[in-house]
Amino acid sequence: MNKYRSRCLKVVLAAVASVLSTSHAAGLPRQAEVARRGADVMPFDLKTTTHIFSKTDKGGTQRVVVKDARDSVQTRLVREHLHEIRQQFQNGDFSGPTHVHGACMPGLSELKLSKPGAIAVDYREVHGGAELNYRTNDPTLVAALHRWFDAQLSDHGADAMQGHQHHHAAVPKD
């Protein structure tokens, strides 16, 4: 009986490892394509930065920071980009994410259909970069923002990470 369980466990572990390996490998071409298209929209070097996505009950915070805080050029480029993105999003323009991630990106269609101003977007500079805080009282848009964050985490791979989940609309501290 022990040999049988041991053999079953080995088969299950091998299957799980195979699935995880295939899933990761399938994500690499997508991440490479997103990085290539991202260079058309993002003026900073994606490999020198980290995108951090923190969900809140009213939306979430997208923070982009340079990996080397002494890199003032990349920090300036991150800040300029997020400031520009804020303006575009407040005007209902989601063409940047559409170009980088594709029109079928989860959550994006709902964000595009929202009326300008339905989602408040606040910009704030942080050490080594900047962040955008998205807030809405519309549960459908909150869910869309969360799906959009999840898709970006997947698409940016090693250049992105999930931040802390907040159950209030406060902006994370440095």
pTM over cut 0.75: no
The pLDDT tens digits of the residues spanning 95-149 come to 877 666 567 788 988 998 999 889 999 999 999 999 999 999 999 999 999 999 9
Percent of the chain residues past pLDDT 70, beyond the cut: 65
User: Which string of DSSP letters, residue by residue, matches the chain?
Assistant: -HHHHHHHHHHHHHHHHHHHHHHHHHHHHHHHHHHHHHHHH--S-GGGEEEEEEEETTEEEEEEEESSTT-HHHHHHHHHHHHHHHHHHHTT--HHHHHHH-TT-TTHHHHHHSPTTSSEEEEEEETTEEEEEEE-S-HHHHHHHHHHHHHHHHHHGGGEEE----SSSPPPP-
| Domain boundaries of the chain, sorted by first residue | 29-162
